[in-house]
Amino acid sequence: MTNSTPIPAERLLILFAKTPTAGQVKTRIGAQVGLEQAAQIYQTMLETILAASGGDGRWQRLVALTPDSDAAWFETRNLPYIRQLGENIGERMANALSEGFRQGSAQVMVIGSDIPELDEAEIAAAFSRLDTEPAVVGPSIDGGFYLFGANRQFQQQAARVLQAEIPWSTPQVLALVQDLCRQQSLPLFSLPPKRDIDTYEDWLDYQAASAATDIAVSIIVPTLNEELYLADCLRSLEHPCCERIVVDGGSKDNTLQIARQAGVRTLRCPVANRGRQLNAGAAVARGKILLFFHADSRMPAGGMAAMLSAMQDPHLIGGGFDLGFFPPEPFYRFLAFGANLFCRMTRMIFGDRGMFLGSDRFWQLGGFPETAIMEDAALSTSMRRAGKIAILPEVVETSARKYANETKLQAMYRTMWAYAAYRLGVSPETIKAGYYRMGK
């Protein structure tokens, strides 16, 4: 420990940081806008997280500097610091946690310095989780994590996890850490995901989102090669109190260009997984209401107003819309009638008709499971158990493309089979394989 006298604290927050020196921080951003501007961006992020992480006496904060960082910047601000020790980031985090426990802290958390969206209330909530949970993690959208914490009695398991052979700075980090925690019998509570700032586009998007003050609804649209439908979808979702967020899973066509031309926020997921994409969009959303919407669907005139009106009911968990198909062929009208009757009877909502609920409620329910298929059915089941669900009469039209290469009976059977298999507990991977095999 340097620049401070060890002060035992029940809760210790360790901020991993670097000195904001040009050429040593955010070099990916520097390649886009120059090293000096990249250092200024990092300093802004660092000052933001320093302002949010003080704790006001609820926890002690300690900065962990990289071995090559000049400590003068931190010393002039009277910030207690230690040096990061270890060959990789995992070893450095493990050693920092051990230092905190050595000082006598009962709860120790490590956070990064490039998560400007992380605020004091969320840090406090993470510490509160450690009152009942052995360990917590804050997932980042790129597959890593921005926060990791543990209780003293689980420090050895946490250290073994962080010191394991993990390919750091890859999209597999979080999943591997979660698996290792299970192997170590270390229950790990996941906080809402956030996006760290790695590129200049990330930074611009963060600034734009921070400036937005009158957003009521965040609309999240997952995409994968949707250039034929996306423009019409986004036009139908235009509304003065809404933000539109496109989360792409690796499109090879013009999907992202179309989204950017429409002036919407864009994110990229390292893998094409609809549940993960939807969670990623929700993590950066600013609206109090979240609307999850498919790229090949269209919102009707008056649909947004109807949703906002319905959500005035404090007892309402969320809901969806009636469903229609285009082109408007007789069979598809019949299929939509049956689907709407089913949804009204069961209160089950699927993604192609739009799914909405409050942002706070979404995270309380655990978000979408990042499964191969049926992620919407899983969240809908949680919503239905939690309380009141609304099916609005406004009709969301969705493309009938998934039924184009099969007979009418095949279309009906495939849809019913998938839901029945889900209800019977068949694995999402098996359901997905069977669903798409039937559609060929």
Q: Residue 21 domain-assigned?
A: yes
Question: Which pLDDT value is given to residue 324?
Answer: 96
Predicted confidence (pLDDT) per residue in 360-401, tens digit: 899 889 899 988 889 999 999 999 999 999 999 999 999 998
Q: Which of 8-12, 223-227, 252-256 has the lowest mean pLDDT?
A: 8-12
Provide the domain limits for residue 138: 11-190
188-203 average pLDDT score = 90
17-21 average pLDDT score = 95
Radius of gyration of the chain (CA): 24
Yes or no: say if 311 and 356 are a contact pair by the CB < 8 Å rule.
yes
411-415 average pLDDT score = 76
Q: Residue 418 domain-assigned?
A: no
pLDDT at residue 435 is higher than 90: no
Predicted confidence (pLDDT) per residue in 68-92, tens digit: 899 999 998 889 999 999 999 999 9
pLDDT at residue 213 is higher than 60: no
Q: Residue 416 domain-assigned?
A: no
Q: Which of 194-203, 208-217, 337-346, 426-435 has the lowest mean pLDDT?
A: 208-217
Question: Which pLDDT value is given to residue 5?
Answer: 43
More confident residue, 148 or 272: 148
Q: What is the mean pLDDT of the chain?
A: 90
**Percent of the chain clearing pLDDT 90 (strictly above):** 66
Q: Residue 428 domain-assigned?
A: no
Predicted confidence (pLDDT) per residue in 28-76, tens digit: 999 999 999 999 899 989 998 998 898 778 899 999 999 989 999 999 8
Residue partners of 36: CB distance under 8 A and separation at least 6: 22
In DSSP notation, 113-173 reads: SS-TT--HHHHHHHHHHTTT-SEEEEEBTTSSEEEEEEEGGGHHHHHHHHTS---TTSTTH
303-310 average pLDDT score = 93
CATH number where 94 lies: 3.90.550.10
What's the domain count of the chain? 2
Q: Residue 49 domain-assigned?
A: yes
Q: Residue 434 domain-assigned?
A: no
Predicted confidence (pLDDT) per residue in 232-265, tens digit: 999 999 988 899 999 999 999 999 999 989 989 8
pTM: predicted TM-score of the whole model, two decimal places: 0.65
Three-class SS of residue 438?
helix
Q: Where are the alpha helices (DSSP H) in 288-357?
A: 303-310, 330-346
Question: What residue has token string 């994590």?
Answer: 145
Question: Which pLDDT value is given to residue 439?
Answer: 61
Q: Are strands 188-190 and 217-223 parallel, antiparallel or unpaired?
A: unpaired
Cα–Cα distance for residue pair 295/184, rounded to 1 Å:
41
Q: Residue 350 domain-assigned?
A: yes
pLDDT at residue 212 is higher than 70: no
pLDDT at residue 8 is higher than 70: no
| 155 and 263 fall within a common domain | no
Q: Residue 207 domain-assigned?
A: no
pLDDT at residue 214 is higher than 80: no
